[in-house]
Structure 1
Amino acid sequence: MDILDRVEYRRVDLANRRDPVYRLRYAAYRREEWVSENPEGIATDEYDRSPNARCYGVYIDGQLVSSVRFHHATPDMRISPCMRMYPDLLNGFLDAGQSYIDPSRFTTDRDTALAYPALPFLTLRVAAMACEYFTATYCLSAVREEHVAFYRRVFGSREIAGDGHYPGLNFPVKLYAAEVREIRNRVADRFPFFMSTPEEREAMFGDDADAHYLGLIRPTARQAALAEDRFSPVPDAAE
């Protein structure tokens, strides 16, 4: 929990191609040769222009260290990267009146990831907050085989579809999902740093987009966990 005292979040203006998050993505993906070189030195795709897309940078001690994007898909707004890979399954969810958060473009600074094993937790905290703010039915995870154990252990995710190919990347993924209402309290008990106050969620996801691009947002997990009396020993990976 103490690491959160050094963390801040920033909402990204996805229309600004000069935003440093695009360069962070590019550096991470080029390192693994997941994307081709381009003269701008940025990684972006059509989903950055979707009306239901939001993206966030994560900062430690004022330095950008990771980012994640997500789409909030509803019966009235069905755009998301996973929808392209699994349209029959996900349209079925939406046809039934359900909704989901589809996180994507999860990227980290390599040196920081080595120094801070908690970085995946700090970054995916954005998705956890989004699920609560938007009262989503599911949180999806399109993950590589080697990352499956993490999503099962942390979020209780289960596989709902086999291999697909994520738009713009050259490796297969599997589709996992966690039912938000089912896992919320269990995750909060085990990992209270995922928690947040309504005020933080409003600052992160509120409708007044211009206002929310202006500054860095400090996490409120400590206050939220105290309010619900959910403090428990922090796992080694999150220290």
Structure 2
Amino acid sequence: MKEHVVEALTHSRYRVLTESRDLEEIYRLRYKCYRAEGSIAKNARGLMTDDYDETENCVHVGVEMDGKILAAMRLHLVSRLCLVSPTLEVFPEILDDLKPGQTILDPTRFVTDPEARDRRVPLHFLALRVPFLAAMFYDIDVALAPVRAEHTAFYRRYLGYEPAMEPRSYPGLKKPIQLLTANFREQRDAVLERTPVFGPLEDFPNASIAFPDLFGVYPAAKKGRYKAA
């Protein structure tokens, strides 16, 4: 494992965010990041949020360092019990290829603090542990990655994603988004062999994530959930 990633993990804590104060902090971080990239219009509140932030199958996770959230991601767990997610709104054909009983992980609003990135904090590695661990915990079949074209190489190299659909306009964003997908069960072991930092790390207790069960909107795993949290 790369030394700078180990050092960052030592000072990191992963949190599932549910309190309004914490959620406002990540909405402000989103606004800051997307504005810095020219991806959204300016607004007086300085917040970036939408109705998908409040759906029952949504989980918000933040990566905290020195008491400040420096990275965050929003997860939607899609199953026969709840077919709601932002990426399905843009790429509804995904459901056409889904087999009965299969599940989808839709990670969106992936943001990392610009100042921390300038200090070369490896937030992209720290934050991308979130959907990987979520896919393990929730026993996911298909993992989505709705990303800008210039980011696809990272997902393909490190996480085994493949292009699924060409870029399209995405609600609220000025720049188009391309869809990558991965058969998580097929890719999991190869990803962990290449980049073990994405998986559970017993030596870093604060790197675990206490994912909620989402009873009623997501089915329990047939074989028992992997203890990624």
Partner of 1:204: 210
The CA deviation string for residues 139-179 of structure 1, in whole angstroms up to 9 with x for no partner, is 11011111111010011110111122222111111110111
Q: Number of paired residues?
A: 209
Percent identity between matched residues is: 34
**In structure 1, what residue type is equivalent to 2:143?**
C
Normalised by the length of structure 1, the TM-score is 0.79
RMSD of Structure 2 on Structure 1 (CA): 2.5
1:82 paired to 2:110: no
Q: Please, which runs of 5 or more residues in structure 1 have no aligned partner? A: 210-223, 225-239
Match of 2:64 among 35, 43, 59: 59
- Identify the residue that residue 36 of structure 1 maps to in structure 2: 41
Q: Deviations over 1:109-133 (max 9, x none)?
A: 1111122352111001010010001
2:116 pairs with one of 108, 112, 118: 112
Matching residue within 193, 199, 205 for 2:197: 193
* CA gap 1:92/1:18 in 2 versus in 1, 3 angstroms: closer
CA distance in 2, matches of 1:42, 1:23: 5
Letter of the 1:32 counterpart: E
Of 157, 177, 196 in structure 2, the residue corresponding to residue 153 of structure 1 is 157
Q: Deviations over 1:186-233 (max 9, x none)?
A: 111111111116998985212489xxxxxxxxxxxxxx9xxxxxxxxx
The equivalent of 2:102 in structure 1 is: 98
Q: Which residue of 2 aligns with 1:213?
A: none
Deviates more, 1:115-124 or 1:140-149: 115-124
Pairing partner for 2:127 from 118, 123, 126: 123
Residues in 1 aligned to 2:102 and 2:53: alpha-carbon distance in whole angstroms: 23
**2:77 equivalent among 72, 80, 90:** 72
Distance (whole Å) between structure 1 residues aligned to residue 63 and residue 49 of structure 2: 18
Contact 1:144 1:174 in 2 (8 A): yes
1:54–1:69: 8 Å Cα contact kept in structure 2? yes
- The residue number in structure 2 matching 1:170 is 174
In 2: Cα distance, 1:183 partner to 1:172 partner: 26
Instruction: Say whether the 8 Å CA contact 1:68–1:107 is kept in structure 2.
Output: yes
Conserved 8 A contact 1:141-1:177: yes
Distance 1:17 1:62, change over 3 A: closer
Paired position in structure 2 for 1:138: 142
TM-score, L = length of structure 2:
0.83
